[in-house]
Each structure stands twice: as C-alpha cells, then as structure tokens.
Amino acid sequence: MIKNLSFWEQEFMTQNIDFAILGAGIVGLSTAFFLKNKFPESKIVVFERQFPGLGASTKNAGFACIGSPTEILSDLDSIGEQATIDLIKMRWNGLKLLQEVVNPDKMDFGNLGSKELFVNQESKDIATTELTYLNQIMEEATLIPDVFRIVKNTETIGLQDIAIHCDLESQLNPMLMMDELYKKVLRTGVLVNYGAAVKQIIPETGTMVVEDGAEISPKQLIVCTNGMAMDLLDIEDLRAVRNQVLMTKPLCSLPLSGNYHVDRGYIYFRTYGNRLLIGGARNIDTDTETCSTFGDNQKIITFLKAFVKDHLYQADDLEYDTQWSGILGVGSSKQPIIRAISDYTTIAVRLGGMGVAIGTGVGNKVAEMITA
C-alpha cells in the first residue's frame, strides 16, 4: 500500500510518470531496464506489492533450460514444427541476453547440463526413436549439432536404464539473478516502488488504483504480472496456476548433478550443493492448482516425496528443509502474450514454465514495441 505519502514522496513516486510498470519480476525489471536504455530521459517507475516480488521470479527452480525431448515432442504435436523451433530459439536467445544483462558469476550460473529420465519403456522408446529429428530441430534453433545424446542412467532407482543428455542446459540461483537485475535497474535511474498493491487497472486510460485508493496515471502502463494479471484484467487464454517446490536438507550421498526432467517437464529436480530440489507435478491435480493464491498442495507434496523415495534417494538421512509454491501464467499456447490492449496499456504476460529463459527477451521486446 502507498500509505501516508508526503507531498514530496507523492510527487517523486507517483506523478509525471512516462512509463509505469506493474510487477517487479524478471519481465517487469527487464522491461524497465531496456525501456530506460531506449528512453534515457524518461521517468520510469516499477510498482510492486512486496520485496522481492510475490510471483515466480524468485520462487522458481532456477533451470536455465530450453526444453526436454518429451516436452519438445509434445510441443511438436500441439503447435507444429516452426512454432516449436521458434519457442526453443526464444529460450536460447533469451538465456544469452540474460547473461549479457546479469553477470553469470553473480547469479551462480553453472552449465551442468540436463538429463531427461523416463518412467516407462513407452516414453523412452518414443524419445529415443525421434532423437535424430529432435537434434535437427535443436540445431535449427541453436545452430549447435547433436545437442541430445543417449547416456546410461546410473543415478536413479527404478526408472529406465537410459537417459537423454543435453549439454546446453544450465542452472542458476533465481534470487541472486533478481537481486543483480534489480541493482542494475536502479543504476539506470529507474525507481522501484515496493509496497504498492494495485487493486484495479483502467486499461482505457492506463490508470492504476492502489489498495488505499490512490490513483496513478502514467503516460503509458505496462502490466507484467504474468498469471496474476487475470485478477485485474480480462485476458483471453491466460490462467494462473500454482507450482510446488520442495528442498531437502543437505544429504550425505547425492549422486545427482545438473537439471533433470521427467514426463514432458512436469516433474523436475536438480541439486543445490548437496541438497535436492524437486518440484512440479501440477498435472496430477489441475483443479486445485489453477489459482493465483499461494499455498501448499498436500497431494502433490506426497507425490513428489514418494518420487524421491522410490527413485532418487533411499538413505536414512533424507529430510526436507522447506517447501514453497509460486504462481505461473499459462494458456493453450506457450507463446507469451505481448501486446497493447489500449493506446495507454500494454501487457507482457503468460511466461509459462520458462520465464527464466525468456523473461529478459520479453522485456526487450516490450521496449522495442513501445514508442514514446
């Protein structure tokens, strides 16, 4: 809430704004960064309800990923070849741009690769049969040949004996990524107003009404609240869905390294030091997980814990440290929605499960679209 502001504060934070950006996630801050580069004299203020943001950008799993074999096959089925290549390209180029904006060392960026693991023979057979085709698709998108290769799976229990490895995937620490991005944005002269919860948007005028009733009317408003935009605007084909994550305590003998994908990316896990992070499985309870409210889902937690016990770690020291959820924005298409919805309001939402990869590029695209 923007409560009890002095005249000076009001004038500084809420008036004569050229570009107001709602949401300080990766998209909002990237948009602010690129817009300020394009219009250095403009007054840009990012409005966000709490520090460091309450969405997904600091709550995600930190996979810098471009797509697992079964995920890509599923995309090929649903959106066709060219759109799938474009999607992979968007992720690959987005990750390159992210590393230009945020120094990789400052966000713990590590190129540890990834593996797709298979729960049954059928999914393994489909993915391995299509390997040559998948590599052609990947090469078109990244210009790198033979990205996927078959390797032995010796790290897990009761899953198929082979996995598909990808060298191109990396991992990072999302909180460090956002902290660096935030500092970089501040250095450009953009203001970030944490504590501004917006309860209404009037798209026709680009006006935001904050929880205490204060109205903010910038020359242009850019809404970067991902799935939560549906609480404020009527946007076709956008749903907010919750995603669960669990983190173990440090484990004594963890034989895993890098990113792991299972079942089209619905289940994912990685290591962080000698801890195991596992998340996802929202497809096992879609009714409950279609929402923009935070909270834990016991059915999913039980499922993920059983997956760990059955397949990943059976030593006695397995204990969980913490669990949390984040909110995604999804729809029938995996393409983000970036468009002006009036002369005064633009939206950049629906980042799906790949906002780390494409968020910086989405911000850049918004800045390219916007005219003064």
Ligand X SMILES: Cc1cc2nc3c(=O)[nH]c(=O)nc-3n(C[C@H](O)[C@H](O)[C@H](O)COP(=O)(O)OP(=O)(O)OC[C@H]3O[C@@H](n4cnc5c(N)ncnc54)[C@H](O)[C@@H]3O)c2cc1C
Residue whose CB is less far from ligand X, 47 or 118: 47
Q: Of the ranges 96-104, 153-161, 218-226, 309-317, which one interacts with ligand X (CB under 6 A)? A: 218-226
In the complex, minimum distance from the CB of residue 228 to ligand X, in angstroms, rounded to a whole number:
4
d(CA 277, CA 264) in angstroms, rounded, equals 18
- Contact (CB, 8 A) for 366 and 348: yes
Report if residue 24 touches ligand X, rule: CB under 6 A. Answer: yes
Q: Of the ranges 70-78, 114-122, 301-309, 346-354, which one interacts with ligand X (CB under 6 A)? A: 346-354
* HSE, side-chain direction, 13 A CA sphere, residue 132: 1
Residues 6+ apart with CB under 8 A from 8: none
Closest CA to 114 of 60, 70, 65: 65
x-or-dash string of contact with ligand X, 272-291, rule CB under 6 A: -------x------------
Q: Which of 32, 34, 36, 48 binds ligand X (CB under 6 A)?
A: 48
Report if residue 203 touches ligand X, rule: CB under 6 A. Answer: no
Q: Which of 93, 123, 160, 226 binds ligand X (CB under 6 A)?
A: 226
Report if residue 180 touches ligand X, rule: CB under 6 A. Answer: no
Q: Count residues near ligand X (CB under 6 A).
A: 41
Residue whose CB is less far from ligand X, 22 or 124: 22
Report if residue 341 touches ligand X, rule: CB under 6 A. Answer: no
Q: Of the ranges 54-62, 145-153, 282-290, 306-314, which one interacts with ligand X (CB under 6 A)? A: 54-62
Angle of the 26-38 helix axis to the 355-369 helix axis, nearest 10: 30
Report if residue 20 touches ligand X, rule: CB under 6 A. Answer: no
d(CA 72, CA 142) in angstroms, rounded, equals 14
Q: Which of 19, 33, 62, 341 binds ligand X (CB under 6 A)?
A: 62
Residue whose token pair is 């810098």: 64
Residue whose CB is less far from ligand X, 245 or 300: 245
Q: Which of 2, 56, 222, 254 binds ligand X (CB under 6 A)?
A: 56
Report if residue 114 touches ligand X, rule: CB under 6 A. Answer: no
In the complex, minimum distance from the CB of residue 238 to ligand X, in angstroms, rounded to a whole number:
11
Residue whose CB is less far from ligand X, 48 or 160: 48
In the complex, minimum distance from the CB of residue 125 to ligand X, in angstroms, rounded to a whole number:
27
Task: Write down how long the chain is.
Answer: 372
Residue whose CB is less far from ligand X, 117 or 160: 117
Kindly list the distances between the CA atom of residue 353 and the CA atoms of 251, 252, 358, in Å, as whole numbers in the listed order: 27, 30, 10
In the complex, minimum distance from the CB of residue 198 to ligand X, in angstroms, rounded to a whole number:
4
Report if residue 346 touches ligand X, rule: CB under 6 A. Answer: no
The site for ligand X (CB under 6 A) is made up of 22-28, 47-49, 53-57, 59-63, 65, 197-198, 224-226, 228, 232, 243, 245, 279, 326-328, 351, 353-357, 359
